[in-house]
Amino acid sequence: MGDDVVAEIGPGLLIFLGVVRGDTKETAEWMARKTLSIRIFADEKQAMNLSVVDIAGSLLAVSQFTLAAETRRGNRPSYSSAAESADAERLYDHYVETLRRETNQVETGSFGSDMRVALENDGPVTILLDHE
């Protein structure tokens, strides 16, 4: 890919999506609904009370298997809980399709590629969504 820009968005959410063994289409749908509805943007009183949909924000979904890193033992992360690549790609695609059913402001990275991702974080606010 070189220095090609695959996707970019304005105000909204950069989503790093990690898929682990045992995740299902239902998991992907729950995560997409939660992504669209979580109230983490400031309202007129500066309270975190608005969703990305409320602010008409964009979404950039990037696959990130390293989120499945297990680090409790030793100094080298284990990725044994990460889903197999084909399963992860299928669920990543389903997650993105679910988002797109609600908004047309969804961009994606290139699944499984080595990418440089730049972020200007306003806040900073970083939220971990976990389905467990």
Active-site residues, by number, are 66
Question: Is the four-CA dihedral 45, 50, 56, 60 of positive or negative sign?
Answer: positive
Give residue for tokens 């402001």.
Answer: 105
* β-bridge mates for residue 82, sequence order: 20
Q: How far apart are the C-alpha atoms of 81 and 90, rounded to whole Å?
A: 17
